Amino acid sequence: MKRSILGGLIATLATAVFAASPALAQQELKMAYALSKDSHYGAGAAAFIESLGDSNENFVIEEFPNSALGGEREVIEGLQLGTVDVALVSTGATLNFVPETGVFDVPFLFRDLDHARGVLDSEIGEEMLAEFPKHGLTALAWGEQGFRHLTNSKRAVETPEDIKGLKIRITENPIHLKAFRELGVQASPMAWPEVATALQQGAIDGQENPLSVIVSAKLWQLQDHLSLTGHVYAPALILVSPMVYDSLSDEEKEQFQAAGKAAALAMRDYVDTVEKDGIETLKENGMQVNEVDYAAFEAAVEPVYADYYSQFGEELIESIRDAQ
């Protein structure tokens, strides 16, 4: 009898200790992104999960790749509402929530990846991240997609004349829209999850995205021509829902910040690799790739700069453009 009372006590104690163990205190977080696990977003997600897992085992991250939780606009709304916990998204989407980030979407602003990374890592980039909490979001770090290029199935585009009249899907981004309209494109702002069907059905002739997206989404299955327009740099962001972030201890916030930085670096590494071998992959899969008259495209959108100056300030735009 005594034995069984003792046994019961031990069992109760063991249950109490077990219940207090970290394994049962784990918090599950939903992480959303638009592309596959093989993409730069997938690489960023894996680095985030590894970094956070190394420093804190109380968080379990469940990935929702391939727009499984909706388009980027819906995902950002989800972060504000607390139905999505972590997300990797493009500035094409954040611009509608944090208008200041739109300055990085100005076409022909950055010379190359080093220039863009330098600006995003500088005070300008840091100040922009600090804008997010004012709009019900938390931004951990600047990730990256690379420079956007044009794909289409009608013709090789080499000059601004060639692009006129093409029906091109663009992101839901008014900064890009202005530039494409100036080029005489029939630009259709559209959420990414609708793009494949629109291309298949011929509702649009093409789209524009960086090599990271064109390669990882296997766009050669839907598009014949890639024109290396490099018309705009596409940053990405690692965002957390304030519902999660504001509930963290200071130590946990640092762990999330570190995970965000690890994700950003992994995305940049992916972009560096795809910049080296992506074009070869696309050619091997039958895409026709051509260079363009970059200076002619740059000159063709120059008139829109007056609008960008009035929206973001000439001083800011020129200081980004001139940054070394």
Q: Which residues are at the interface with ligand PAF (CB under 6 A)?
A: 34, 72, 89-90, 92, 145, 171, 192, 209, 213, 234
CA quadruple 272, 301, 323, 91: dihedral sign: negative
* Nearest distance from C-beta of residue 76 to ligand PAF, angstroms: 11
Closer of 172 and 293 to ligand PAF (Cβ): 172
Q: In whole angstroms, give the CA distance from residue 3 to residue 13.
A: 15
Closer of 92 and 160 to ligand PAF (Cβ): 92
* Nearest distance from C-beta of residue 251 to ligand PAF, angstroms: 31
Tell me which DSSP letter residue 85 carries: -
**How would you class 193 by CB atoms within 10 Å of its CB: exposed for 0-12, middle for 13-18, buried for 19 or more?**
middle
Q: Which of 151, 155, 263 is nearest to 211 (CA)?
A: 151
Closer of 41 and 297 to ligand PAF (Cβ): 41
* 36, containing H or E segment: none
Measure the N-to-C terminal CA separation of the chain; round to a whole number of Å.
Answer: 82
Q: In whole angstroms, give the CA distance from residue 239 to residue 104.
A: 17
Closer of 168 and 234 to ligand PAF (Cβ): 234
Return the CA Rg of the chain: 23
Closest residue to ligand PAF: CB criterion: 90
* Nearest distance from C-beta of residue 92 to ligand PAF, angstroms: 5
Closer of 89 and 279 to ligand PAF (Cβ): 89
- Structure tokens belonging to residue 218: 């296997």
